[in-house]
């Protein structure tokens, strides 16, 4: 299982790297062409916009996987471990609910924009909304997995639990 997750993580980070590199190259080439040769690539701005949207949503998956999203855990870190687990489950249920709303809205927007295309590239605008829908779906799966790993198997605890363990070890 770890090999599969490592492979998927490699694909994700490689995709983000390729998208970011492509976006930077396209924008740079367009700037050079405009200011030096007084011409430009007509589709580069639109393509850069598409790539940027995908980078943002793929980046949210990476941040969610690494538990790197901003959170205030001062209060929850001071609670007893059982109550922490209860609040962790409630927190992840809220996340799952919100991501379900994002999926619902993304699906509706994909249907609405299925016949709309980018003027320069001809790429359907629904591709932009698919990025958010895909990210929300993956975050639901990750949230369920992380909850089961922590609550049932006591693996991969959140940072506020690890900090407590480090403090106790340091006191001895």
pTM of this prediction? 0.83
pLDDT of amino acid 165: 52
The span from the CA of 90 to the CA of 171, in Å, is: 31
In this structure, what DSSP letter does residue 73 have? -
Tell me the per-residue pLDDT of 65-84, one tens digit each, with 9 for 90 and over: 888 777 777 777 788 888 88
Whether the predicted pLDDT of 34 surpasses 80: yes
What pLDDT sits at residue 1? 65
Q: Quick one: pLDDT at residue 106?
A: 95
Residue 105 CA to residue 58 CA, distance in Å, equals: 18
Confidence grade of residue 104 (pLDDT, cut at 50, 70, 90): very high
């Amino acid at each position: 299982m770890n090999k599969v997750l490592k492979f998927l993580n490699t694909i994700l980070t490689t995709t983000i790297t390729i998208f970011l590199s492509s976006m930077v190259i396209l924008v740079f080439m367009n700037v050079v062409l405009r200011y030096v040769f007084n011409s430009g690539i007509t589709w580069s701005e639109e393509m850069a916009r598409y790539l940027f949207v995908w980078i943002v949503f793929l980046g949210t998956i990476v941040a969610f996987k690494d538990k790197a999203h901003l959170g205030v855990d001062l209060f929850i870190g001071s609670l007893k471990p059982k109550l922490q687990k209860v609040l962790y489950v409630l927190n992840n249920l809220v996340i799952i609910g919100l991501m379900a709303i994002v999926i619902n809205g993304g699906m509706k927007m994909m249907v609405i924009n299925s016949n709309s295309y980018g003027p320069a590239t001809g790429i359907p605008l629904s591709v932009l909304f698919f990025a958010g829908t895909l990210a929300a779906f993956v975050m639901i799966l990750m949230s369920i997995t992380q909850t089961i790993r922590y609550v049932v198997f006591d693996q991969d605890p959140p940072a506020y639990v690890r900090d407590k363990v480090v403090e106790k070890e340091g006191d001895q």
